[in-house]
A = this chain, B = another copy of it.
Amino acid sequence: MTRPTIKDVAERAGVSNATVSRVLNNNPHVDDNLRSRVMEAVSTLGYQPNRDARRLRAQSSNVIGLIISDIQNPYFISVIGGVEDAAYARQMNVILCNSNEDLSKQAMYLRVMEAERVAGLIIVPCHCNQADDILQLSKTGIPIILLDRVLVSGNMDAVLVDNVRGAQEAVTHLIELGHRRIALIGGPAYVQTGRDRNQGYRNALMAAGLPIDEHLIRSGDFKMESGYRLTSDLVTNGDPPDAIFVANNLMTLGTLRALRELRIRVPEDIALVGFDDMPWSGDLYSPLTAVSQPTYELGQEAVHLLLRRLADPEAPYRTMTLQTRLVVRESCGAQLRN
């Protein structure tokens, strides 16, 4: 009924528990005869070491904390998968938390992570300025890897996506297809990815010698509703653009819904390109041209950075930047002109 302990194994094998421990941890200085006796006792009893006791003694855990900012966003599912696979391949477990873009919830989970004495933490911070608690946790010695979003202050490992370049490529694509009045449904300024994508948009226009019309620029909060609202506003007030670049997936869904309700055809009336590809992007009302992010790899690389830091706490901080890829479908009208 009750689970066997190392003592039970030792008793059954007729050795001390120190010897059992040595066998389990592959200590070479143990007699083959005893070793096999221990192994047998372990398997007949179905013994598994108590991880709490192990962690208590070792003062280190094999648990990785993962705090993401919005579990409702399909973008992060793939990230989670990458983290999980990489972690479990190294015998590490993952505790997943969802801050839901809420600073106070994030603060709570940071405390949980500290109390749990996680080996390391991978976090998508929900605010790039107000991150004192993250910096503070970092000071206590817990390795922290930033994922997807960088902080304005503080030196840390990070794995990011080249958002500026990705956005620029997307908007340049629109320009090359002949669109001139290109609107932006941008991300929030308090998140680095939002800023970067907005910057990419401006870069593309400037590189093409096109004017930047502030009337065509709106700023949302990465949620669907804001995409819907800003798009409705954009196309009904004044003269509408002939193309829209939307800075993330959920807002793009909002945009699509708004356009459909207003009976504006995509891409015939307005072309559309979004950031973040999704598995079903091609099955949407208008198959979506989108900037695809290497989400799974993002999660994996975060774990790799973490393991590297655990192995060498003094290593210089590294920021790893992965590249995006533009997936061309029909929503920009590419097919119409080619």
A residues at B contact (CB < 8 Å): 1, 3, 48-53, 55-56, 61, 71-72, 74, 77-78, 80-81, 84, 88, 93-98, 108, 111-112, 114-117, 140-141, 224, 253, 256-257, 260, 279-280, 282-285, 287
Contacts and interface: CB of A to CB of B under 8 A. Distances in A.
B50 A56 contact: yes
Contacts of A116: 51, 93
Contacts of A98: 80-81, 84
A95 B94 contact: yes
A224 B49 CA distance: 41
B71 A74 contact: no
A115 B46 CA distance: 11
Contact of A256 (B260, B279, B283): B283
A52 B49 contact: no
Contacts of A141: 1
19 contacts: A3-B140, A48-B115, A50-B117, A51-B117, A52-B53, A53-B56, A71-B80, A72-B78, A72-B81, A80-B98, A81-B98, A84-B97, A84-B98, A94-B96, A95-B96, A256-B283, A257-B282, A284-B285, A285-B285
Contacts of A287: 285
A115 B84 CA distance: 18
Nearest to A255: B283
Nearest to A78: B72
Given A56-B56, A93-B112, 14 more contacts: A48-B114, A48-B115, A52-B53, A52-B56, A53-B56, A72-B78, A84-B96, A88-B108, A93-B116, A94-B95, A95-B95, A257-B283, A280-B284, A285-B287
Given A98-B84, A112-B93, A117 B52 contact: yes
A250 to B, nearest CB: 9
Contacts of A53: 52, 56
Contacts of A3: 117, 140
A78 B284 CA distance: 21
A49 B115 contact: yes
Contacts of A285: 283-285, 287
Contacts of A55: 52
Nearest to A3: B140
Contact of A284 (B49, B74, B284): B284
Closest 10 CB pairs of A and B: A52-B56, A52-B55, A96-B96, A48-B115, A52-B52, A53-B56, A253-B280, A256-B283, A56-B56, A283-B285
B283 A253 contact: yes
Nearest to A254: B283
Contacts of A84: 71, 96-98
A135 to B, nearest CB: 15
Nearest to A287: B285
Nearest to A96: B96
